[in-house]
């Protein structure tokens, strides 16, 4: 039996070339999938950032709009030493929601800190006795935990960004009274 070497070599070269082409095709397909995945992740990242900004703007609109009257009423109630059952806590519900959204990373943290850190800190200081009483009354320590989370996070950010201790940043009784008076005049 004689071997036709040129045909055998040609067949072998064709087989190697076919495998090489299959390998390059596989590599190109993987590369294309990888690029598509990166592009999709980039688009999702942009969509997440847009959602964070939209939620921030909605909260800001509420805070500067319909919540003004609620803030005013709540401040007036605290200044008048209203009874516990007379307190309307709708204003602090906004901070509870904001805390949950921050905890779940649904809000832009820099925007929230820049806009709401002062108000969250001051409203927490204004309401913490009320919140403690509500927790005791309801026998539910989870009451306003996201508001508390928000204030704790803000406190950590304040320490980092303002280079002050937590004690230095804690509002005094006169700071709280002045804040309540300012909010009552809205």
Q: Which two tokens stand for residue 41?
A: 């992740």
Least confident of 26-30, 60-64, 95-99: 26-30
In which residue are the tokens 């495998």 written?
A: 19
For the stretch 156-178, pLDDT in tens is: 999 999 999 999 999 999 999 99
CB-based burial label for 118 (10 Å; 0-12, 13-18, 19+): middle
Q: Which two tokens stand for residue 120?
A: 């969250």
């Amino acid at each position: 039996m004689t071997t036709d070497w040129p045909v055998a070599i040609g067949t072998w070269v064709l087989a190697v070339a076919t495998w090489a082409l299959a390998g390059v095709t596989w590599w190109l397909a993987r590369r294309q999938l990888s690029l598509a995945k990166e592009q999709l992740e980039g688009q999702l990242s942009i969509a997440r950032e847009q959602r964070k900004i939209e939620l921030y703007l909605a909260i800001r609109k509420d805070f500067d709009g319909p919540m003004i009257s609620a803030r005013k009423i709540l401040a007036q109630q605290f200044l008048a030493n209203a009874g516990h059952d007379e307190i309307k806590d709708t204003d602090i519900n906004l901070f509870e929601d904001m805390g949950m959204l921050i905890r779940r990373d649904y809000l832009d943290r820099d925007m929230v800190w820049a806009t709401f850190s002062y108000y969250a800190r001051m409203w927490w200081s204004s309401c913490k006795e009320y919140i403690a009483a509500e927790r005791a009354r309801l026998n539910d320590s989870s009451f306003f935990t996201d508001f508390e989370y928000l204030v704790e996070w803000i406190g950590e950010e304040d320490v980092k960004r303002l280079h002050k201790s937590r004690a230095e940043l804690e509002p005094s009784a006169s700071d709280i009274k002045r804040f309540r008076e300012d909010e009552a005049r809205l």
